[in-house]
C-alpha cells in the first residue's frame, strides 16, 4: 500500500471511488504559485533550452500513455486533469500559467494517475527525464529550489489529509473549499470534491446547499464561489 493509500485509508471512509481519491490528492501536489519550483525568471532563462509544445483546445496534452514521462510547465493557457473514464471521468485539478506537473512522478518513478487536456490553446514547456536529471545536476540553485518545492508540496498535502481527521463533514468541506480556492473560485465539480473527502456526492451536496443558504458560498456549474471567506473559515473550525 502506497503512502497516499495509507493516508487516505486513515480517513476511515470506504464509500468513495478510491482511484479518484488518489488521483485527486496527487493532483494537489502540482507546483502552484509560491510553491512552484521555477520562478518566472527561471522559466524565461530556460525557455530557449526546454522543449516547446502547443496543444490546441480540447486535445490531450499528456498522460494518455502516448507521451513520454516528462516535467510539464504551463507557459500559457489552462489544462484540466482528468481521472477515470466514461461516465466516471471527472476533473481533479485545473492548471494555469506557471503551474508545474510531472516532476514528483518522475522522481518517484510512478505513472501519472490522470490525463491532461487543454481547456484553451495551451503552450507548454517540457523536460524529458534525461533533461530533468541534467537540469538538477548542472544547476544547483534550481535543484535546491526544486527539491524544496517538492518537500513543501508533499508536506502541504500530508497536512491537509491530517487536518481532515476527526472533523465533521461540514468542517472538512469548508476547509477543502478554502484550500482549493483560486482566482476562478473553486473550479472543481462536486463529484471531485466528494471523492477528495471520501464521501458520496449527495452527502456533500447537502452540506454545500446549507453553506449556500447561510450565504457563505455560491454554487455554479462545476464550480463554487466563496462569498464570505471569514465565515467559512469559522465554519471550518
For residue range 39-72, list pLDDT tens digits in order: 777 766 666 667 889 999 999 999 988 888 898 9
Structural domain span for residue 74: 3-145
Residues 11 and 113 in one domain: yes
- pLDDT score of 143 more than 80: yes
Residues 114 and 217 in one domain: no
Number of domains in the chain: 2
> What's the pLDDT at 51?
84
| Distance separating alpha carbons of residues 222 and 192, to the nearest angstrom | 9
- For range 20-43, the mean pLDDT: 64
> What's the pLDDT at 12?
42
The top-scoring range by mean pLDDT among 4-18, 26-40, 134-148, 153-167 is 134-148
Q: Is residue 73 part of a domain?
A: yes
Q: Is residue 160 part of a domain?
A: no
Q: List pLDDT tens digits, range 155-165.
A: 877 777 777 77
- pLDDT score of 18 more than 70: no
CB atoms within 10 A of CB 166: 9
Residues 170 and 140 in one domain: no
- Indicate the pLDDT class of residue 2, thresholds 50, 70 and 90: very low
| Cut 0.85: pTM above it | no
Q: Is residue 157 part of a domain?
A: no
**More reliable by pLDDT, 62 or 9:** 62
Residues 134 and 189 in one domain: no
- Give the CATH number of the domain where residue 219 resides: 1.10.10.10
- pLDDT score of 8 more than 50: no
- Angstrom CA distances, 22 to 6, 84, 112, stand at 10, 11, 11
> What's the pLDDT at 232?
95
Q: List pLDDT tens digits, range 174-218.
A: 998 998 888 778 888 888 788 778 788 899 999 999 999 999 999
Residues 57 and 141 in one domain: yes
- Give the CATH number of the domain where residue 71 resides: 2.60.120.10
> What's the pLDDT at 35?
65
- pLDDT score of 133 more than 50: yes
Residues 67 and 171 in one domain: no
Residues 107 and 199 in one domain: no
Residues 124 and 183 in one domain: no
Q: Is residue 14 part of a domain?
A: yes
> What's the pLDDT at 30?
67
> What's the pLDDT at 83?
85
Describe the crossing of helices 3-10 and 140-164 by its angle, rounded to 10 degrees. Answer: 30
Residues 97 and 184 in one domain: no
Q: Is residue 155 part of a domain?
A: no
Three-state SS string across 132-146, please? HHHHHHHCHHHHHHH
Q: List pLDDT tens digits, range 69-121.
A: 898 988 889 898 888 777 677 777 788 888 889 988 888 888 888 999 998 99
Amino acid at each position: 500500500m502506497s503512502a497516499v493509500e495509507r493516508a487516505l485509508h486513515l480517513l476511515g471512509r470506504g464509500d468513495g471511488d478510491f482511484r479518484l481519491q488518489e488521483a485527486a490528492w496527487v493532483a494537489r501536489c502540482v507546483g502552484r504559485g509560491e510553491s512552484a519550483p521555477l520562478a518566472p525568471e527561471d522559466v524565461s532563462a530556460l525557455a530557449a533550452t526546454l522543449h516547446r509544445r502547443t496543444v490546441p483546445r480540447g486535445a490531450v496534452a499528456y498522460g494518455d500513455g502516448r507521451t513520454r514521462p516528462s516535467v510539464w510547465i504551463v507557459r500559457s493557457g489552462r489544462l484540466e486533469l482528468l481521472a477515470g473514464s466514461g461516465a466516471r471521468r471527472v476533473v481533479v485539478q485545473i492548471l494555469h500559467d506557471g503551474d508545474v506537473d510531472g516532476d514528483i512522478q518522475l522522481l518517484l518513478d510512478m505513472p501519472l494517475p490522470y490525463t491532461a487536456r487543454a481547456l484553451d490553446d495551451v503552450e507548454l514547456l517540457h523536460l524529458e527525464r534525461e533533461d530533468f536529471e541534467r537540469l538538477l545536476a548542472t544547476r544547483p540553485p534550481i535543484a535546491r529550489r526544486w527539491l524544496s518545492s517538492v518537500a513543501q508540496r508533499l508536506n502541504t498535502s500530508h497536512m491537509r489529509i491530517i487536518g481532515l481527521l476527526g472533523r465533521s463533514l461540514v468542517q472538512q468541506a469548508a476547509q477543502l473549499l478554502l484550500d482549493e480556492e483560486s482566482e476562478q473560485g473553486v473550479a472543481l465539480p462536486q463529484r471531485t470534491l466528494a471523492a477528495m473527502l471520501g464521501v458520496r456526492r449527495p452527502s456533500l451536496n447537502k452540506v454545500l446547499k446549507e453553506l449556500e443558504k447561510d450565504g457563505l458560498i455560491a454554487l455554479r456549474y462545476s464550480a463554487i464561489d466563496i462569498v464570505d471567506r471569514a465565515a467559512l473559515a469559522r465554519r471550518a473550525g
